[in-house]
Amino acid sequence: MSALAPRVIRVALAGNPNSGKTTLFNALTGAHHKVGNYPGVTVEKREGVRVRDGREFRFVDLPGTYSLTAYSLDEVVARDFILDEKPDVIVDVLDSTNLERNLYLCLQFQEFGIPVVGALNMSDEAAAKGIEIDADGLGKVLDIPMVKTVGPKGIGIDELLDAVEARMESSRAEPRMPGYGEELEAGIGRISDLLASDPDFAARRPSRWLAVKLLEKDDHAARIASGHPRSSEIEAAVRRSVQWVERHFGKDAEIVVSEQRYGYIRGAVKETVRVVRKPDFSRTEAVDRIVMHPLLALPIFAGVLWAVFQLTFLIGEYPMGWLETLFGRLGEAAESALPEGLLRSLVVDGILGGVGGVLSFVPLIVILFFLLSLLEDVGYMSRAAFATDKLLHTFGLHGQSVLPMMLGFGCSVPAILAARTLKSRRDRIATILTIPFMSCGAKLPVYVLLAGAFFPDAAAGMVLLIYAIGVALSLASSRILHNTVLRGEPTPFVLELPPYRAPTLRGVLWHVRDKTWQYVKKAGTVILAASVLIWALTSFPARPSAPGEAEALAARYAAEHPGADPGAAEAWAQTSRATAALEYSAAGRIGRFIEPAVRPLGFDWKVGVATLTGFAAKEVVVSTLGILYRTGLEETEESGSLREALRADPLFSPLTAFVLMLFTLIIPPCFAALATIRAELGWGWLGFVVAYFLALGWGLGFAVYQIGNLAGLG
């Protein structure tokens, strides 16, 4: 190990969206992160460590960005991290198939004065397209070491680490900066010298980078320069240089700088890159002729989603049934093994009845995430964004909003964070307000439970209908908000269409594992705690029982049903006592208090309690129903499963079940999502979200239930 290089090297991993940066990050660190095949997946920095030969490499995966002009939050995160944290080395991940565009960002990194290493990623795809890159030659021209890598296969990882070490060991040498031609360099030099005249200021901000940004009329750079002791001189020098450049070139100074930068890049690429064979028509273009057809794109998108849900239910039905049977038998075993009392009630009703009901849906979650991950990694999600772009613009949304919206089908929290990739704050707010309408994985167990119980022959279609209603409501709501509190035109939509790629099994399984683990972990923490709390609320205070009450109830049943089996009378008496005890409990009293508010929706107090607990996490609706209905109906003949218990309740009908699914879809999202909304938009918008979604959920539920009753569907 060289004495010059530190034992710990801090590396910023940066690059354009869709350059394979996160995949390379996983290969470098072994970190298990989601890897998507479209821009916008990485919205926050992620850290990972690799130790080699006694030296520690600390990698930070920065958001993908096309430039360092802070138009969007992901660009702000990347720029501010480099400016404030000053990593030892920047590894710029370059898409070898689109080298000129990717090098534009690379040159901006070089201007920070921090050592840069270029990772020529996807070099296998470039070779397949007949693109030959002289990595050594390109590195010499730009004074940036270039290493060919293939992230999914781990090719070039050791060579990249070698280059990082070598770059650190030679970092004391002044790096060569990209040139912009004599006309621009004179002005850049004057501004840079003024900025460097104060050593303390120059130590905090790289003078040349700031000089170039000032020449580009960057507002953020101007704010930084205003803190310089000679700010008035710098402002005058910038103004003179900008005026001279614009008179000389007849163009805006920002355009001139951009053109000069691309000219520098084209010269380097022309010397070191050769295209030896270019197919007339690629497979990607052939597939896109159908997938992106103006008339077929939206029907194909709808068909893909329909197929995803059909497969999810077709494959998941059997393992879900096995788990339901397993937890049912565990409950029976616990009842036999434990003496009657609070402990048995806690284990059987609170834990197995609550958490077990939620865990039964794990197979569906695994299958759904697996299929969605395949679509992401193949490259279809970008096509979905383009397919829905015109439709979204009609409703006041940005075309790129479809990416966070699609993530919302998995979990609202990362979907809300993904909205950071939109450049306009108005577009970010509009997108975030649509995400709660997306049916996240936590809502799926509620839909499956009710659809399976009341629409058994069309369960998948009913769940897909609820998903479609959520999308339709998000668009209609966005249109209303666009015309009221969010007036303004959406910004233009620009999104790169990546080539279709074969997904890696490891990447897909990592995605599925992470999402499934989040679901299971929630079942073992939040839902377990909520289930125990709900059990306590349903068990205390205990209802005092009068002597001979059970016998009196059985005798009444026998009198009302002459010739009935004595066992049926005893079961009815026990069920009546359990129901009375439940109504006497704290949960029953809370339910009775809120029942007037939910009765117009067709719900009784038990369903009201379930919807109330769903604010913590939507899966808790299932666990609450499991506890309430196991307690109230545990002795009936049809209590083999929660579905059967719901069907046995005279309150429930297909109409009531549909309204409950609709209400679960619309009411405010879980506490975690609400906390994320507050962090992104502030308290004001959080209050608006809670009030808006509560009012909309109640209003639509009321309308559907009352109209359905009038139509005789109740």
What's the rounded mean pLDDT across residues 71-95? Answer: 85
3-class SS of residue 671: helix
- Full DSSP string of 351-397: IITTHHHHHTTHHHHHHHHHHHHHHHHHTHHHHHHHHTHHHHHHTT-
Crossing angle of helices 182-196 and 207-215, in 10° steps, is 130
Whether 627 and 353 have beta carbons less than 8 Å apart is answered as yes
Does 137 score more than 50 pLDDT?
A: yes
Beta strands 55-61; 8-15: pairing state: parallel
The pLDDT score that the predictor gives to residue 632 is 42
More reliable by pLDDT, 527 or 159: 159
Lowest mean pLDDT among 229-233, 406-410, 449-453, 679-683: 406-410
Is the peptide bond preceding residue 541 cis, with omega within 30 degrees of 0? yes
Identity of the amino acid at 638: E
The pLDDT score that the predictor gives to residue 282 is 66
Does 246 score more than 80 pLDDT?
A: yes
Lowest mean pLDDT among 177-191, 543-557, 689-703: 543-557
3-class SS of residue 230: coil
Lowest mean pLDDT among 58-67, 77-86, 359-368, 600-609: 359-368
The pLDDT score that the predictor gives to residue 714 is 65
Q: What is the pLDDT of residues 682-707, one digit of tens each?
A: 899 999 999 999 999 999 999 999 99
Region of 15 please: left (phi>0), alpha (psi -120 to 50) or beta: left
The pLDDT score that the predictor gives to residue 280 is 53
Residue that has been written with the tokens 């009201």 in this structure: 608
What's the rounded mean pLDDT across residues 260-269? Answer: 89
- Full DSSP string of 445-514: HHHHHHHHHH-GGGHHHHHHHHHHHHHHHHHHHHHHHHTTTT-SPPPPP----PPP-PPPHHHHHHHHHH
The pLDDT score that the predictor gives to residue 514 is 72
Domain segments of the chain as ranges: 8-169, 182-275, 297-482
Distance CA 648, CA 333 (A): 24
Closest listed residue to residue 501, CA positions, set 247, 55, 121: 121
Q: What percent of the chain has pLDDT over 90?
A: 28
Q: What percent of the chain has pLDDT over 70?
A: 89
Q: CA of 320: how far to CAs of 340, 356, 362, 462, in Å?
A: 29, 11, 8, 18
* CB-facing half-sphere around the CA of 295: CA atoms within 13 A: 0
More reliable by pLDDT, 340 or 206: 206
Assign 519 a pLDDT band (cuts: 50, 70, 90).
Answer: low
The pLDDT score that the predictor gives to residue 688 is 95
Does 220 score more than 90 pLDDT?
A: no
The pLDDT score that the predictor gives to residue 630 is 64
The pLDDT score that the predictor gives to residue 237 is 94
Lowest mean pLDDT among 16-30, 95-109, 127-141, 609-623: 609-623
What's the rounded mean pLDDT across residues 354-380? Answer: 79
Assign 175 a pLDDT band (cuts: 50, 70, 90).
Answer: low
Does 233 score more than 80 pLDDT?
A: yes
The pLDDT score that the predictor gives to residue 636 is 35
Q: What is the pLDDT of residues 424-480, one digit of tens each?
A: 788 889 899 999 999 988 898 899 899 989 998 888 889 989 999 998 999 999 889
Domain 182-275: give its CATH code: 1.10.287.1770
Q: What is the pLDDT of residues 603-660, one digit of tens each?
A: 998 899 888 888 877 877 887 887 787 644 333 333 346 888 888 888 889 999 999 9
Distance CA 32, CA 48 (A): 10
Whether 444 and 361 have beta carbons less than 8 Å apart is answered as yes
Kind plus residue range of the DSSP H or E element containing 300: helix 297-337
Give domain 8-169's CATH superfamily: P-loop containing nucleotide triphosphate hydrolases (3.40.50.300)
Integer distance in angstroms from the first to the last C-alpha of the chain?
Answer: 78
More reliable by pLDDT, 1 or 440: 440
Q: CA of 370: how far to CAs of 84, 183, 375, in Å?
A: 38, 55, 9
Mean pLDDT of the chain: 83
What's the rounded mean pLDDT across residues 305-331? Answer: 83
Assign 347 a pLDDT band (cuts: 50, 70, 90).
Answer: confident
Burial letters 507-525, b for 16+ CB under 10 A, else e? bbebbbeebbebbeebbee
* CB-facing half-sphere around the CA of 438: CA atoms within 13 A: 24
Does 43 score more than 50 pLDDT?
A: no
